[in-house]
Each structure stands twice: as C-alpha cells, then as structure tokens.
A and B are shown apart, each in its own frame.
Chain A
C-alpha cells in the first residue's frame, strides 16, 4: 500500500524544502516515496515540512518555523491529509530508525509530540514474538500509511534477532485524540 499524504526526506546536509503544504493547498510535493492525497481542513493552516542541517522543521503561513527534531541523521516526513499531524521517519542512528508523530491542536500553530507510536509498536512486537527489545539490532520503524481516516498509522517494524534471522512486523497503531476534539 502506498502512503497517503505528502512527504519530504533528507539528504545528509543541504538545505532543502522537501514537502509540502497540507490543509487543501495545491502545490507540488517533493518526495521520493509518497503520493499526495491531502484533504481540505478549514481549521488547519497550511504547513510545510523542511529539512536542513539543523534538523526537521515545520513551517506555517506567515513564516513561522518550529524545529521538530534535531537528533536524527536522516528524516522522511509527511503531513496528514487534514494538515494537523506530521509523521516522521527518523534515523536516530544508521542502525536505528523511529517514527515520531507531531500534532497541532485546534487554533494553534505550535506542534507538540503526540503519541509515542514507536514504543507502542515495539512493545506489541516484543509481546507477539516473545523477545526482549535489547536483543533486536538494526531496529527500524517505518511509516507505511494513514489508517482509519488519520486516526491511526500503519507501521512496519524490522530488525535482526540474535540468531541472525530477520524480524518483520506490520501493525496499526491508533493515535489518541487530543482533549480539544
């Protein structure tokens, strides 16, 4: 399944504006993996995600910028169809990739970390496969698609186990609705 939404990713360093406005704005998305499918959300101002040497940014109308993450080596970010979520694949290390979700509440232009979907997903995987997270190397969590009209994410988990075998595990992780909804 191809992901909905629009995405931006990061080369190692150069300053690039990679993706795009949501909230119904037209305009090209610069991306390598996603197919655009934004829906109009009257409450949400258009937003773009960008990556430069400092990290992953969100930029909204009027020139407001907010640094979302600066601890990654590479980033791949997408704006949700309603423009109120940003989901980012972040390579914290060359052998460790996580997914982070950022949300802005109604009437606000400030982005806040939302549910820790990576932790939730790996805890489930650990239970399902009876493994300890410390045993998994090269653990990578990747956004696959929006699900349940943006109320959930489909994620893919992969990693290597001590016996040399590969772990691959897909699951849908629901996002908690903020109190203002």
Chain B
C-alpha cells in the first residue's frame, strides 16, 4: 500500500527541509558520507543515465542501503555475484551474474518506478526517499519521522523498527538519513540549492483580499525601512505598495498590469 504524493505532503516535506539542521554531534559523520558520495559522482551519474533521476538521490540511497559498497545490489544489499535472494528476489531478471553495480542499480531504480518521476523537486526527492524505504513509519508510527530520511538531523530523536520487525520507542538509528546528506550537499554547494517550495506567487498579490491584510501590513512596514519609501501602512497592496516592491525587488506585485508593460 502506497501513499500518494499530494500538495499537503509536499508542503510537509518542504517545511521540514526549511527547518532541517544536522545534529552537531553527527556533523562529521554526515560530512564524511557526503565526501564519499561526491567522490563517486561519476558512477551515480552512469547508473541514472537516461533515467532522469538525480545522481545525488542514488548516492543518498546507496549510503543507506549498502554503506556505499559497490559490490552489493542496491535492491537489498545482496552480493552482485548472483541475483538477489532476499526480497525482491531474483533481481535483476535480465543479464547474467556477476552484475556491475550500475546494471543492478538501474534495475533497482526502475523496479521502484523512479524512472517515471517527472519532476525531481525537493519535496519529491524526500518523498521518493521515504517511499524507497517503505511507509511503515508514516502509516503505523507517525509520531516518529522516518529515520531513513531524517536520522542525524534535529527532526529525529529516537524510535525505529528493530531486527524482529517490532517497533522500539527507544532504539536510535545509527544511519545517516537521506535528508542529512541532501542538506550537507547543498551546504557544500555540491548541488544547486534545492527549492524548498515553488515561489509563493499569490502571497502578495496586487489588490489582495482583506484576508491578507496583516501580511501586507508587515510588507509595508518592511518597505518603509528603505530610504525614499514612505507608504501608508493600511494593509492594502495598491499601486504605491507595488511600486515600492518593484523598486526593491525589480518587479511589481503579481497581478499588477505594469508587469506586462
């Protein structure tokens, strides 16, 4: 049973990413993992060639599934010298063992239909990572954010499934979560900053409704801190407010016809 990628879920992932901090006591481990992933970037790029999957998605998954070993199947950590015996068993179906890591990884990614993902936004990256691991935490223990994604960040403290399949409220994941890797990759500028969410295009619209008045008031007060801008703080995003926004940010408020001129 899967969980659909909805706008609400995307917003949740974005919010979590916005507030994601790597735990200081785990920082060195995360940084080492990121260095190891970056060092093998060419192999990850080869594995996702033609699939449209970001190389760093595979790097983060590889770290979690196989501790960055290139001698094991990405599906489940079985050795590449034979087809998988753990579930999913008998993979890859095509070809003959021993498999290259790239062959196996491409099979694992296609098996999970990751090659069909059309847009790899930040929330989608986090969604697909959690999905790759499975929905057990979200479905049965929503009080704990999946350690597969959030371990080693301040969003995860404790709680995990243990060897016999039971959930322990006290067990602590010792793995570097996917989001920690992603965050550190961004911080090191190894990948472009990922958009936590699409730009808010309707936040300050020209002639907004009164429902947005408090935010517009904040905006006008902010604009008034710039030299030469003197707006009446009335919560109404009219032509003068829009002109002040244009002066500071280079474009008028959305919906202002002067943007079309």
Contact = CB atoms under 8 A, between A and B. Distances in A.
A10 interface: yes
Contacts of A123: 164
Interface of B: 1-2, 64-65, 67, 76-77, 83, 85-90, 111-113, 132-134, 136, 139-140, 148, 160-166, 168, 170-172, 174-175
B1 A122 contact: no
A139 B139 CA distance: 20
Interface in A131-149: 133-134, 136-142
Interface string A35-46: 000000000000
Given A12-B112, A53-B1, A138-B77, A98 B165 contact: yes
Contacts of B89: 9, 32-33, 76, 89
A10 B87 contact: yes
Contacts, number: 115
A104 interface: no
A160 B140 CA distance: 25
B161 A133 contact: no
Interface of A: 9-13, 32-33, 53-55, 70-76, 89-98, 118-119, 121-123, 126, 133-134, 136-142, 157-160, 162, 164
Closest 10 A/B residue pairs (Cβ):
A32-B90, A139-B163, A98-B165, A134-B171, A122-B164, A93-B134, A74-B87, A136-B163, A73-B134, A133-B163
B145 to A, nearest CB: 14
Nearest to B163: A139
